[in-house]
Chains A and B, each alone.
Chain A
Amino acid sequence: MSERAKEIEKSAEEIVESFVKDAEKLPELKETYYSQETYNITRPDGEPSPEAERLSFRRKFISNMPGSDDKGNLKVEVAKWSKER
């Protein structure tokens, strides 16, 4: 990790510690993950998109890829960070 990243990580951890101190005297309550409990969380099943729309999306998606082969398949190098593990 670079010096810059180490410094940033240190400042990130300091904020976390200051939170723990700040929250010391506050009551323990049930956690709130989302603010409401009445979300419409099930989606209706839909029809698949028309083929022309899917192909158009694929073309656009490929244009954003860092690399692709002749058939439009994604080409990537093994990521550096996976070698570091």
Chain B
Amino acid sequence: MVQRTLEKLAAIKRGEISAADSVAAALELIEKKDKKINSFIELNQNARADAESLDRKIKGGKKVGRLAGLVIGIKSNINVAGLRATCASRTLENYTSTYDADVVKRVRAEDGIIVGMNNMDEFACGSSGETSAFGPTDNPAAFGHITGGSSSGGAAAVAANFCDICLGTDTGGSIRNPASHCGVVGFKPTYGLVPRQGLIDLGMSLDQIGPLSRDVAGAALMLETIAGKTGNECVMLDVGKVNYSEKLESKGLNGMKVGISPKFSELTDPAVMDVIDSQVEKLQDLGAEVVDVELPNLEHGLSAYYLIVSVEFFSGTRKFDGRKYGKRIEEACGEEVLRRILRGRYISQKEYRGKFYQRALQVRTLIRKELMSALKQVDVIVGPTVPKLPHKLGAKLSLMEMYAYDYLTIPANLAGICAGVIRAGEVNGVPVGLQIQGKALGELDALQVMRSLEAIE
């Protein structure tokens, strides 16, 4: 498969296409098609000027950054100075960011052109892309179906060719789930690799910012742009600059051990599993050794996650009291956000803390130990991303049916490991994504598996 991101980047750097033309084409396409898709909440009025400024730099023979001229969308829970960080909520609908998040500073420093703020589930509380106060996002890869969430707008914007790369956030699968449903590449970095400064939290011990892109090269380029410690963020791993894109090769996987768990087929729709099994066969053809790994308690991560995230979300939203900015969250938010706040408040009560919260943190330890133990035997674990196909927009699901979308993505967040998603195939025209979970700071191995599969498509 042709690496479209690298080809475009090279053409811009050589001056064969201008950044201004590229941005103008993207904005025209958004204008024409986004009324139906609804992947953006706000567009950046300075995008054309930023692109023109980059073109002058290129014409002047000056050195340009690794994202030079690429069209970038940012999830609406990440601060971009001068644009609204609404979190897709009426709570913050008039809140204009006063500063750039660290990741945004890094994107700008590498000459990425930010075209706007993507739609999302309200405050990242959702797995379908339907809870936004600005309306649901439609799936460009399977119109009429959900995109998945919560980074719904970013995945849709990449799938619709509005953007080269978008920044999403992943607390329990919010990058990987929509990447799978929209047939694009998504990557959740190891917890602590990417600064969260400037991110409006869902769960502070689980959230990571990461890329959604057309191809693996785009994800690698964005990841190496945003990764690395900063003095602005205290919960970071001691990792400096990283380089993935120059090390990725279209080669076989000889010597690589790939794990699969029988648990995946227990939890997953057989039609989805057939697509995943065909990818596992391809990995074997590429030279990887495929071995079974045991993850006996995988499904217990779901309820532990929803307790932990509710407590952290309740704590993180106490600042939205409507005094300094925005509106009081309990008065302005939607149903799922309120449910998580009330659940978090309930669990946080002194008498329930040990019974619920500490117990959930113990289950987190169990899931983490099992994944770490499995990853000692293999380089990566591959399997389905989402256990079922996306439902039709507007279909009514029970709460547990909705939460069940996250069974297979949550464990990576609980363990803090990295995980990427690449299109594996489709069922009845709906994309299905393969999830590749790597060790903590095992980004290169996971990306290499993804690139090897991409190269034979």
Q: Is A79's CB within 8 Å of the partner chain B?
A: yes
Residues of A within 8 A of B191 (CB): 34-36
**Contact partner, B235, options A8, A18, A41, Cβ 8 Å:** A41
- CB-nearest residue of chain B to A9: B342
Task: Specify which of A8, A12, A18, A43 is in contact with B231 (CB 8 Å cutoff).
Answer: A43
Which residues of B have CB within 8 Å of A8?
Answer: 335, 338-339, 342
B324: chain A residues within 8 A (beta carbon): 61, 64-66, 74
| Contact between A15 and B363, CB atoms less than 8 A apart | no
A11 touches B399 (CB 8 A): yes
Q: Is A5 an interface residue (CB 8 A)?
A: yes
Q: A16 contacts B358, CB within 8 Å?
A: no
Q: Does B59 contact A (CB under 8 A)?
A: no
Q: Is the C-beta of B415 less than 8 angstroms from some C-beta in chain A?
A: yes
B234, A40: Cβ atoms under 8 Å?
yes
* A28: nearest chain-B partner, CB-CB: B362
Interface digits, A22-50 against B, CB 8 Å rule (1 contact, 0 not)? 11001111111111101111111010000
Q: A13-B343, A65-B325 are in contact. Are A38 and B363 (CB under 8 A)?
A: no
Question: Across the interface, which residues of A come within 8 angstroms of B338, CB to CB?
Answer: 5, 8
Query: Given A8-B335, A38-B237, A79-B321, does the pair A32, B98 have CB atoms closer than 8 Å?
Result: no
Evaluate contact between B356 and A16: CB separation under 8 angstroms: yes
In Å, the complex CA distance between A9 and B359 comes to 21
Asked if B408 is at the interface of the complex by the 8 Å CB criterion, the answer is: no
Q: How far is the CA of A36 from the CA of B192 in the complex (A)?
A: 8
**Interface size in chain A (residues, C-beta < 8 A):** 44
- Contact A66/B323 with A32-B364, A43-B231 known, Cβ cut-off 8 Å: yes
B96–A26 contact, CB under 8 A?
A: no
- The answer to whether A22 touches B303 (Cβ under 8 A) is yes
A26 and B297 within 8 A (CB): yes
List residues of chain A with CB within 8 A of the CB of B321: 79
Q: How far is the CA of A26 from the CA of B364 in the complex (A)?
A: 11
- Give the distance to chain A from B429, nearest Cβ to Cβ, in Å: 34
Task: Tell whether B7 is near chain A: CB-to-CB under 8 Å.
Answer: no
Q: Check B98–A23 contact: CB distance below 8 A.
A: no
Check A12/B339 contact, CB under 8 A, given A22-B300, A39-B235, A40-B238: yes
Can you spell out 28 A-B residue pairs with CB atoms less than 8 angstroms apart? A5-B342, A8-B335, A12-B339, A12-B340, A19-B356, A20-B355, A26-B300, A26-B363, A29-B362, A32-B361, A32-B362, A33-B205, A33-B361, A35-B192, A35-B414, A36-B237, A36-B440, A40-B237, A40-B238, A41-B235, A43-B234, A46-B231, A64-B94, A64-B96, A64-B325, A66-B325, A76-B323, A79-B328
